[in-house]
Amino acid sequence: AQSVAQPEDQVNVAEGNPLTVKCTYSVSGNPYLFWYVQYPNRGLQFLLKYITGDNLVKGSYGFEAEFNKSQTSFHLKKPSALVSDSALYFCAVTLKENFNKFYFGSGTKLNVKP
């Protein structure tokens, strides 16, 4: 069975500091990986995705993520956090063999304090 794990329910970081939101996955097949962000009362907004190629993917709002096949991870990072980055972040995986179905992690709440 396919699954995504976000081991931290919450991440706290001070504004200006680097942030990391962790994601690991377990799939049988070739993974395509995504990060979405959810602000209160809003839908999931696409941040970035890894399909193939360079393991370091850059996305919206200065976020980036690194695909690590050996560690089956796709951690989200940002060099300098903003208070406005505070939101709920979801990692998701789909398969090259069946890309119609997304599997989501449980979400990580990012709190950026001024």
Question: What residue ranges bind other proteins (CB under 8 A)?
Answer: 4, 32, 34, 36, 41-46, 49, 51, 90, 92, 94, 96, 98-107
Closest to other proteins by CB, 70 or 98:
98
* Structure token digits, residue 26: 């377990």
Q: How far is the CB of 52 from other proteins (least distance, A)?
A: 9
* Structure token digits, residue 111: 């709190």
For residue 54, with 0-12 CB atoms within 10 Å meaning exposed, 13-18 middle and 19 or more buried, which class applies? exposed
Q: How far is the CB of 32 from other proteins (least distance, A)?
A: 5
User: In this structure, how many other beta carbons lie within 10 angstroms of the beta carbon of residue 60?
Assistant: 11
Closest to other proteins by CB, 3 or 12:
3
Q: How far is the CB of 25 from other proteins (least distance, A)?
A: 13
Closest to other proteins by CB, 10 or 17:
10
Closest to other proteins by CB, 31 or 75:
31
* 14, 113 Cβ separation under 8 angstroms: yes
* 87, 110 Cβ separation under 8 angstroms: yes
Total residues found in the chain within this entry: 114
Q: How far is the CB of 71 from other proteins (least distance, A)?
A: 21
